[in-house]
Amino acid sequence: MAIPKGSLEEDTFSFLRQSGINVYGASRSYRPRVDYKGLSVKILRPQEIPVLVQEGTYDLGISGRDWVRENRADVEVLLDLEYGKVRLVLAAPINSDIKSFEDLVELSRERPVRISTEYLNLASDWITSKESYRKVYDEPPTLITPWYRVKGNDRFKLILSFGATEAKPPEDADAIIDNTATGTTLARNGLGIIEEICESSAVLIANKNSLKDPEKVEIIKDVYALFRGVVFARKNVHVFMNVKEENLQELISILPALKGPTVSPLSKEGWYAVNTVIEKGKLLELMPKLRRLAQGLVVTDPRQVLLLEDVDELVR
């Protein structure tokens, strides 16, 4: 499994630890050791992981959904891991006249427009999907890198950025297409968000041929189940409460659960213990009723909640 270096690195290690997979030696090696039999990992840039998984160099990978789309990688996206959330946006200098994508189209009538980005394919696909662009141009933008130039519409030029994209305008670009979590870095560099293109987060991806390998797919199913258990646990809490018999049925009727709450009689006659898992937001909604019906409430954050019965159907 390839795991990402850079902005996703620490969150990925935290996610792996919560799943029960501990990583050792990551600070000293790109090939750290993990304590999970049958699984080995390598740390790589998230930009390259989708292609390497597609080619079968790795059976599994963790990367951003944006890089899966940018590489147009033919992989199976098994699970949204729901961390590393960013937005891919179009941004331009706040003090410029560019306040919309349509302003860039109008500017391109006067002179070529330059957009700096790490996402050449994704940006090109988005631009050519815009109606205001298609009304004027029938070619996708020209793509420019240090190694090659893909001839297209020279009135719109997408220039490959190698990072620090927010520093490119106004000298090197009229606008940028980049990812942002909060928009703070853009604002500090005098840029304002014009349009949001898409959202992205870390995803677990698999090589399609590996999913057909009887031996490999068993490990993949285990990893998938462990990871999904973390995603579910982070959105839910484990609730334990004591309740009088007279309030038991009403309490059960309002409690969500995977199958149904676990109910056990206490040693004191007429009292029951109730265990269940509740969405964090639902707990706040239910609190007035729980205060009325339950006597004593313990809330804990579960490390994992493993939903196992449908793994075979979801990972084929």
| Domain ranges for the chain | 2-85+202-232, 87-199, 236-300
- Rounded CA-CA distance 60/207 in Å is 6
CATH of 236-300, one of 3.30.420.40, 3.30.70.120, 3.30.70.3340, 2.40.160.40: 3.30.70.120
pLDDT tens column, 75-124 = 999 999 999 999 999 999 999 999 999 999 999 999 999 999 999 999 99
CATH architecture of 87-199: 3-Layer(aba) Sandwich (3.40)
Evaluate if residue 288 carries a pLDDT over 70. Answer: yes
Largest CA distance in the chain: 85
Q: What whole-number distance in Å separates Cα of residue 1 and Cα of residue 6? A: 16
φ, ψ (nearest 5 deg) of residue 215:
-75, -45
Q: Which three-class secondary structure state does DSSP give residue 123?
A: helix
Is the predicted pLDDT of residue 315 greater than 70, yes or no? no
Element (H, E) at 229: helix 214-233
| Residue 23 to residue 10: CA distance in whole angstroms | 11
* Higher-confidence position of 295 and 172: 172
pTM of the model: 0.89
Nearest to 109 by CA among 168, 153, 159: 153
pLDDT digits (tens, 9 = 90+) for 34-49: 988 899 999 999 999 9
Helices 245-254/280-293 angle, 10° precision: 160
Tens digits of residue pLDDT in 223-261: 999 999 999 999 989 899 899 999 999 998 888 766 778
Give the closest residue to 177 by CA, choosing from 126, 108, 133. 126
d(CA 227, CA 16): 8
Instruction: Tell which wins on pLDDT, 34 or 306.
Output: 34
Q: What pLDDT is attached to residue 314?
A: 63
Residue 89: per-residue pLDDT = 97
Q: Each residue of 112-134: pLDDT tens digit?
A: 999 999 999 999 999 999 999 99
Torsion sign, CA atoms 3, 184, 122, 316: positive
Q: Three-state SS for 56?
A: coil
Q: What would the mean pLDDT of 22-45 be, rounded to a whole number?
A: 91
Q: How far apart are CA 310 and CA 26, in angstroms?
A: 33
- Is 198 a residue whose pLDDT tops 90? yes
- Residue 92 makes CB contacts below 8 A (sequence gap 6+) with 98, 99, 104, 169, 174, 175, 176, 191, 192, 194
Considering the domain delimited by 2-85+202-232, tell me its CATH architecture. 3-Layer(aba) Sandwich (3.40)
pLDDT at 311: 72
How far does CA 60 lie from the centroid of its chain?
Answer: 15
Question: What pLDDT was estimated at residue 244?
Answer: 92
Which pLDDT does position 316 carry in this prediction? 64
